[in-house]
Chain A
Amino acid sequence: MRVNGAVQSLEVEPRVSLLDVLREHLGLTGTKKGCNQGACGACTVLVDGERINSCLALAVQYAGREITTIEGVATGGQAHPLQEAFIRNDGFQCGYCTSGQICSAIGMLAEHRAGAPSAVTEHLAAEAVELSGAEIRERMSGNLCRCGAYNGIVESIQDVAAGHADVLAAAR
Chain B
Amino acid sequence: MKAFAYVSAPDVATAVRAIATEPRAKFIGGGTNLVDLMREDIERPDTVVDISGIALTGVEELAGGGVRIGAMVRNSHLAAHPLIRSRYPVLAQAILAGASGQLRNMATVGGNILQRTRCPYFYDRAAACNKREPGSGCDAFGGFTRNHAVLGGSESCIAAHPSDMCVALAALDAVVEVESVRGVRRIPLVEFHRLPGATPHVETDIAADELITAVELPALPVATTSRYRKVRDRASYAFALVSVAAALEVQHGTVATVRLALGGVGAKPWRAHEAERLLLGAAPTEESFRRAAAAELAPAVAQPHNAFKIELAERTIVATLAQLLAAGGAA
Residues of A within 8 A of B (CB): 13-15, 17, 36-38, 41, 44, 50-53, 56-58, 60-61, 104, 107-108, 111, 114-119, 121, 124-125, 137-143
Contacts and interface: CB of A to CB of B under 8 A. Distances in A.
Interface in B69-108: 76, 79-80, 82, 85-86, 89, 92-93, 96-97, 99-103, 105-106
Most chain A beta carbons < 10 A, residue from B3, B6, B96: B96
Most chain B beta carbons < 10 A, residue from A13, A38, A111, A121: A38
Closest 10 A/B residue pairs (Cβ): A142-B100, A14-B6, A141-B236, A116-B80, A119-B96, A141-B237, A53-B102, A124-B85, A56-B35, A124-B89
A119 B101 contact: no
A51 B35 contact: no
B76 A119 contact: no
Contacts of B38: 15
Interface in B6-51: 6, 8, 28, 30-32, 35-36, 38-39, 48, 50
Contacts of A17: 35
Contact of B102 (A61, A104, A115, A124): A104
B1 interface: yes
B86 A52 contact: no
25 contacts: A14-B3, A14-B4, A14-B5, A37-B39, A52-B105, A53-B100, A53-B102, A53-B103, A56-B36, A56-B106, A58-B6, A58-B31, A61-B50, A115-B80, A117-B96, A119-B93, A119-B230, A125-B86, A138-B236, A139-B101, A140-B101, A141-B100, A141-B236, A142-B102, A142-B237
A114 B48 CA distance: 33
B326 interface: no
- Interface SS of chain A: loop
B270 to A, nearest CB: 21
A13 B1 CA distance: 11
A61 B32 contact: no
Given A37-B36, A58-B31, A117 B105 contact: no
A119 B102 contact: no
Nearest to A142: B100
Given A37-B39, A56-B35, A51 B105 contact: yes
B36 A58 contact: no
Given A51-B101, A60-B50, A142-B103, A124 B236 contact: no
A54 to B, nearest CB: 9
B105 A116 contact: no
A82 B317 CA distance: 42
Given A15-B3, A60-B50, 5 more contacts: A41-B102, A118-B96, A119-B236, A121-B96, A141-B235
